[in-house]
Amino acid sequence: MFQDIKTLDTAMNDTVENDGFWPNLSITDFVKTCRIPPVYNAEQECNMLIMAMSGVNIELNSFKERAIANNQRHSSDIGMAYGTESATTVQYKQAVYQRAKASLLVHFATLSRKDEAENLAKESTETNESLMALSQHAIRNILGMPMATVRLL
């Protein structure tokens, strides 16, 4: 049976360029950190990473504008440093990576595979919702928002 193997027809840059404030992202780091299955090719991974990055950047645009107004030119300038990255940068990557992984796993159902039941958890609604919740949790942390908020309507 045919199985999609992770090979490229053309060379692809591993780095996804960002806007200068948020860090550039590595496809290799995304695959390693999120344990992405080998059924996806680098182009799929790159596309989902770009889509997730764009969505998270839109959600965090007001945060970025406030930071720049306070002379913080890069996300690495904000928050405590952990090794070579700030807490804000680590949380940003978490938000993007989990959103990209959720999107990839939704597409998993369209790929050929031997055993239907073998990867049921990878494409379940609960898995997608859990990954999106992790992404939103990281965004809320960056914005300084608690896990739950209550508003009077």
> So where are the chain's domains?
15-143
Identify the pLDDT of residue 124. Answer: 67
Residue 64 burial (CB < 10 Å; 0-12/13-18/19+)?
Answer: middle
Q: Is the pTM of this model over 0.85?
A: no
Give the pLDDT mean for 75-98.
92
For the chain, percent of residues with pLDDT exceeding 70: 74
Q: Dump pLDDT digits (tens) for 112-134.
A: 555 554 555 555 667 667 767 77
